[in-house]
């Protein structure tokens, strides 16, 4: 089976899918199938929504964004130091 091209979804779309899953009238698998999404992706969206709402331990979306930004900045600063050492 050929791999599907990676798709990007808006935060609003993900929130809508999570809300449909939380209603409880359909399973995550059914919601994923209805919208031609992978069940794994939808499960991750639901899990992250629970973390963001404080219902589950883990890094919130804001914390993940901040961590990624700090890692980029750290990498850039290390590269700058290497240039200055030469």
Per-residue pLDDT of the chain (86 residues; tens, 9 = 90+): 788 788 999 999 999 999 999 998 999 999 999 999 999 999 999 999 999 999 999 999 999 999 999 999 999 999 999 999 88
pLDDT at 86: 83
pLDDT at 11: 95
21 exposure class (CB count in 10 Å sphere: 0-12, 13-18, 19+): buried
pLDDT at 5: 87
pLDDT at 1: 75
Do residues 22 and 46 touch, judged by C-beta distance below 8 A? yes
- How many whole angstroms separate alpha carbon 50 and alpha carbon 15? 11
Do residues 42 and 31 touch, judged by C-beta distance below 8 A? yes
């Amino acid at each position: 089976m050929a791999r599907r091209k990676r798709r990007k979804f808006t935060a609003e779309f993900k929130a809508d899918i999570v809300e449909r899953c939380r209603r409880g009238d359909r399973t995550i698998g059914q919601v994923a199938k209805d919208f031609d999404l992978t069940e794994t992706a939808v499960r991750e969206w639901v899990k992250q929504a629970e973390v963001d709402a404080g219902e589950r331990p883990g890094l919130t979306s804001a914390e993940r964004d901040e961590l990624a930004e700090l890692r980029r900045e750290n990498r850039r600063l290390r590269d700058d130091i290497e240039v200055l050492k030469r």
